[in-house]
Amino acid sequence: MTPTSPARPTPRPSSTTTAVPQTMHSPSKRARLKAELSRQRVSLLTEWNLTIGVPDEQEPCAERADQVTHDLAQALAIQVKMRALTKLKRIERALLLLRTKYYGYCRRCRKAIPYERLAVQPDARYCVPCLALAESRLSRN
């Protein structure tokens, strides 16, 4: 009998490693997603005029009800602008990730997000199962 070398165990990936495959979608699909993200970015910037500025000072309204209505309208406008800014940040992040191999992968399970989902929401950060899980956990709290 000839001596054989002891079998080496194959290393198991730890749960902390982020294994991301080299390619996810074809270059043409990635180009379409990039074009859609860029279109959404331009649309947000032009439609919402997302500039940082202080609202114009207005004289107080004569009637208390008019002042309350004005204040509510201003608060709603600020809330809408904040949502638009949040969406813009997500789009910017997705455009940056497109330059790397990490775009299109779920942040929770690290699996590829299907192209069909990215075509609908190119700034998606989670696959549908992980998003549903996160939403169900939020609704329980």
According to DSSP, residue 6 is labeled: P
CATH code of 38's domain: 1.20.120.910
pLDDT tens, 107-116?
999 999 999 9
What are 26-60's pLDDT values in tens digits?
A: 899 999 999 999 999 999 888 877 554 555 566 67
pTM for the model: 0.67
CB 126 within 8 A of CB 108: yes
Residue 112 structural domain? 27-49+65-140
Residue entry with tokens 């789009």: 91
Longest dimension (CA), the chain: 104
Indicate whether 81 pLDDT > 50.
yes
Percent of the chain beyond pLDDT 70? 75
Comparing CA positions, the residue from 85, 95, 94 lying closest to residue 52 is 85
Segment 7-22, tens digit of pLDDT: 444 444 444 444 444 4
Tell whether 15 is covered by a domain: no
